[in-house]
Structure 1
Amino acid sequence: MNRTAGKSYVVVSATEKFGYGLGDFASNLSFGFVSLFLLFYYTDVYGISAAQASFIFVVARVIDAVFNLLIGVAVDRTNTRHGKLRPYLLFGALPLGLLTVLCFVMVGDDYKFIFALFSYTLYCLAYTTVNTPYSALTNMLTQHEQSRASLSVYRFALASIGYLVVSTTAGPLVALFDSPQTGYIVAVTLYATLATVTFWACFAMTKERVQAESHPLEDNAKNAWHVILQNKPLINVSFYTLFFYIAYTVWLAIAVYFVKYVIGDEAFLTTFFLIQTMAYTGGIIASEKMIARWGKKMITQAALLFGISGLLYQYFLAGDNITAVMTGVCMFSVTLGMGFVTMWSMVPDTVEYAEWHYNTRAEGTIYGFYNFVTKLAMALGGGCAGLLLDVFDYTSAAPDAAAVAGINFAMTLFPALMFILCMLVVAFYQLNEASYRDLIENINQRKLARQANAGENHE
């Protein structure tokens, strides 16, 4: 193996894995707070309807989804002394922090809807500018498959810690203030500031090693369609992601309502998220060794079946028993943790699949498309959450029995249906650990052959 290939196949150190994971810790301080509380803030504090909030989420995230494709192309054309991807963390972190706060700024009644649409759309675009390159960074750190799986574990373990920080401290922090509006501003400012600093730490603690085999994508533009539309593993994992993220987004947006109206104890919110996050983190941690033993595809299918069982148990059998309810929540959360690790460790493999078949290494384009799918899924999920509340006639004043039943449906049967669709899609996923290693070996052999030919021509 040549020197470049050797460096690209390095086993990443625990320190660098931790540094990489800090990026998702930062993301969840921002994205976690927005996902957990913005819908509730819009309907119960800011003062717009669930239907208006649903419209905002759909429009902003569809715009953002398209923007992902543009960012992907921009990333593939980026070449700086800091690398291809890391500069976006360095220069995008501060604008993202400021726009996170802007989402929770109160304005006069005449401008509430327009300002909410404007501020949330800008936030989504800023988040994409940072998160798409961050997601693709796994590919540039190493081509060692177990290190990539381990990077995903570190990433989502630290993401869960960021989510835990927000979910368990935001409610009590907001409650310290007589005005909920003031409480939300103080909380979001604190989390956004910490997220900005942590993104910078991720930038400083990681190193891009992998070099492209071929010409940049802008010199071979026709291959852009090939690396996406003819990339069968990418299309497969994208559909898996679509259904999975819809389930996750709806569940996350409805969780605050579920605790308040179905469980009937708003004070239980911190405990609810503490237990849920512990289960989620357990799923993340357990996944690394399970993937190493049984592979991504088998673990994904087993995790989805486990989550479906938990959701059905929660809806049909748990009743008012809080222990039974939390058992279902924990089973769902374990599936979330394992599912995120498997899907995000599948995506990097599709880059090498495209590089081998189409002679184009295009992390930016592939991750731009993949994040387009995740944002489209979140748009649909956010729209579904608001729509379900509206269909079941939810009002913040006094939700009736039908509205409460709708909230329970959105937390259980709806994500169970999405997980069933995920299982059907994953059944057709083609790549496995052995075929991935063959791809890497073939690519490296082709690099060696080209270097040898170049040397002969030079002589």
Structure 2
Amino acid sequence: MNQPWQTAWPERISYGLSDAADNLVFQMMTTYLLFFYTDVYGLSTSAAAILFIVARLADVVESLIIGIMIDHTHSRFGKSRPFFLWYALPYVLFAVLTFVTPDFSANGKLIWAYVTYLGLGFFYTAVNLPITSILPALSQNEQELTLLGVIRQFFGSSVQIIVAVFTLPLVAFFGKGDQQRGFLLTIVLFGLISLALIWNTFFQVRERFSRPEQPHQSFKAVWGMLKQNQPWFILSTVILLYWLTTAIKNQTTIYYFKYLINQENLVPAVNAFTFAALIGVVLIVALAKHHGKKNTMLAGIAIAATGQLILACGSVGRWLPLIFGGTLINAVGNGLIIGLVSIMIADTIRYGTALGIQAEGILASTDDFGVNVGLGLGGLVTAGLFHLSGYVANHPQNVATQHMITLNYAWIPLALYAAMFIILLFYNERQLQTAIRQPH
């Protein structure tokens, strides 16, 4: 029998705002950091590509480290909750430092970029992974967990869209022609808001449900459980592909409009259509209740791919109505996909507990692993292909580079959606839910 609801609205809203806080900075990274590095900071595309892949390799290790730290944290505040208190300030400080352009030599600036970006990646994981790992501890009610996940994604998606739409206008407002100053003051504003929201989450949420009688096992025992937790492996792969798709497309948007459409000012306009993601997010509760989470996510992937196909057709002739319309439809599907991620990860955590192993930190790390690796590979693919095609910042691009920009913006994401759909077909939701509902 389902448990009664355990959270009240102030706690639900505060939980959701934690993702909003992280996305104030994260969306700057996914959408504008590559552009900042190449066209504002002054790195070459090859240097940026190598930086992204090094950072993401580091993040693979960091996600595991933070997951283990959560699993072995025993404090009066709980296991996941204290991470919001401990790591919010260094997260915001490194976010600001990442967008500082020091008056150094070329090598000095490259070193600065490595130190700040690697630090930002670590502290992002430290404040973001607990959002996922704490979810199963907030309630045991299936519908309530779904609602909490939807609230989280509603706020997270809202802020992603706000950042995508308003960043460049804010950069122009603060910089008054100086993009270095504009980007720095914009991230300072976002960082201060992020800090307040993360600390608010710490004070408002409570960890209620854990299984102290089931102590955390050795990593060897956890790895044995992971090998049996097929839903976790499948979901981890889908998450990785989703963020790879998102990184490639988001990072290329500004290049497409700057160099192919010759209207950089249209970037906020096309990003405004991603507000439609909220439609997908708010539909999750009803759709998942009647059709299951797997089928709802499959529908989201299909809708996103349809929108991407329309966008791709529009990109061939650079026809803006098709590009804008495809972006809108794609966003609805993306809302369904990303809104279900933390909810389904919570299911794999509970499934792991049913298998006899409590490892919410390590299992939750799949989300940050997917985000970090997807973001890094996306930056590598984008910057690497641009470099190979002869990209030169702030100059008209050759035909090969124009083709590469279109490939990244339109066609590679479409192929990745197809791969996501096929892989998710193997997700056995019935087996997972049956195991969770059995008494232990």
TM-score category (smaller protein): over 0.9
Residue equivalent to 2:259:
261
Instruction: Quote the offset at 1:230 in angstroms.
Output: 2.2
Q: Structure 1 residues 75, 304: CA separation in 2 closer, same or farther (over 3 Å shift)?
A: same
User: What TM-score does the superposition give when structure 1 sets the normalisation length?
Assistant: 0.90
Which of 69, 73, 92 is the equivalent residue of 1:74? 69
Matched, 1:328 2:326: yes
Q: Structure 1 residues 368, 317: CA separation in 2 closer, same or farther (over 3 Å shift)?
A: closer
Q: Structure 1 residues 309, 384: CA separation in 2 closer, same or farther (over 3 Å shift)?
A: same
Q: Structure 1 residues 261, 280: CA separation in 2 closer, same or farther (over 3 Å shift)?
A: farther
Which of 397, 400, 408 is the equivalent residue of 1:399? 397
Which of 361, 365, 368 is the equivalent residue of 1:364? 361
* Structure 2 SS opposite 1:255: helix
Residue equivalent to 2:94:
99
Residue equivalent to 1:37:
32
1 CA distance for matches of 2:151 and 2:348? 20
Instruction: Quote the offset at 1:430 in angstroms.
Output: 0.5
The letter for the 2-side match of 1:374 is V
Residue equivalent to 2:245:
247
Q: Structure 1 residues 23, 73: CA separation in 2 closer, same or farther (over 3 Å shift)?
A: same
Unpaired runs of 5+ residues, structure 1, are 447-459
Residue equivalent to 1:380:
377
The letter for the 2-side match of 1:431 is E
Q: Structure 1 residues 332, 391: CA separation in 2 closer, same or farther (over 3 Å shift)?
A: farther
2 CA distance for matches of 1:191 and 1:381? 24
Is contact 2:303–2:329 with CA below 8 Å preserved after alignment?
yes
Instruction: Quote the offset at 1:406 in angstroms.
Output: 1.4
Structure number, greater radius of gyration: 1
Matched, 1:193 2:192: yes
Instruction: Quote the offset at 1:143 in angstroms.
Output: 2.2
Q: For 1:213-254, what per-residue CA distance to the aligned partner results, in whole angstroms no more than 9, with x for missing partners?
A: 643224x44321123222111011111112111111111211
Which of 287, 290, 305 is the equivalent residue of 1:290? 287
1 CA distance for matches of 2:184 and 2:93? 12
Residue equivalent to 1:112:
109
Q: For 1:164-220, what per-residue CA distance to the aligned partner results, in whole angstroms no more than 9, with x for missing partners?
A: 3322222112112231111111111110111000101111221111121643224x4
Q: How does 1:132-211 map to 2 (within 5 A)?
A: 132-176=129-173, 177=175, 178-211=177-210
2 CA distance for matches of 1:229 and 1:436? 14
**Same amino acid, percent of matched pairs:** 27
More displaced stretch, 393-402 vs 189-198: 393-402
Residue equivalent to 1:308:
305
The letter for the 1-side match of 2:204 is M
Residue equivalent to 1:428:
426
Q: For 1:6-56, what per-residue CA distance to the aligned partner results, in whole angstroms no more than 9, with x for missing partners?
A: 5xx635333322111100100111111122211101100111111111111
2 CA distance for matches of 1:377 and 1:174? 26
2 CA distance for matches of 1:164 and 1:372? 22
The letter for the 2-side match of 1:109 is S
The letter for the 2-side match of 1:137 is I
More displaced stretch, 331-340 vs 52-61: 331-340
The letter for the 1-side match of 2:52 is F
Is contact 2:16–2:156 with CA below 8 Å preserved after alignment?
yes
Is contact 1:217–1:223 with CA below 8 Å preserved after alignment?
no
* Structure 1 SS opposite 2:134: helix
* Structure 2 SS opposite 1:355: helix
Instruction: Quote the offset at 1:409 in angstroms.
Output: 1.3
Which of 428, 433, 439 is the equivalent residue of 2:435? 439
2 CA distance for matches of 1:382 and 1:98? 23
1 CA distance for matches of 2:180 and 2:314? 38
Unpaired runs of 5+ residues, structure 2, are none
Is contact 1:27–1:195 with CA below 8 Å preserved after alignment?
yes
* Structure 2 SS opposite 1:209: coil
Residue equivalent to 1:124:
121
2 CA distance for matches of 1:300 and 1:440? 20
* Structure 2 SS opposite 1:216: coil
Instruction: Quote the offset at 1:258 in angstroms.
Output: 2.0
1 CA distance for matches of 2:307 and 2:259? 20
Residue equivalent to 1:13:
8
Is contact 2:138–2:209 with CA below 8 Å preserved after alignment?
yes
The letter for the 2-side match of 1:295 is G
More displaced stretch, 41-50 vs 168-177: 168-177
Q: For 1:326-369, what per-residue CA distance to the aligned partner results, in whole angstroms no more than 9, with x for missing partners?
A: 11111222221111122321111111211112x12110121124
How many residue pairs end up in the alignment? 434
Is contact 1:60–1:121 with CA below 8 Å preserved after alignment?
yes
The letter for the 2-side match of 1:57 is F
Which of 269, 272, 283 is the equivalent residue of 1:271? 269
The letter for the 1-side match of 2:138 is L
Is contact 2:342–2:367 with CA below 8 Å preserved after alignment?
no
User: What TM-score does the superposition give when structure 2 sets the normalisation length?
Assistant: 0.94
1 CA distance for matches of 2:410 and 2:342? 24
Is contact 2:240–2:369 with CA below 8 Å preserved after alignment?
no
2 CA distance for matches of 1:194 and 1:210? 30
More displaced stretch, 80-89 vs 297-306: 297-306
Instruction: Quote the offset at 1:292 in angstroms.
Output: 1.4
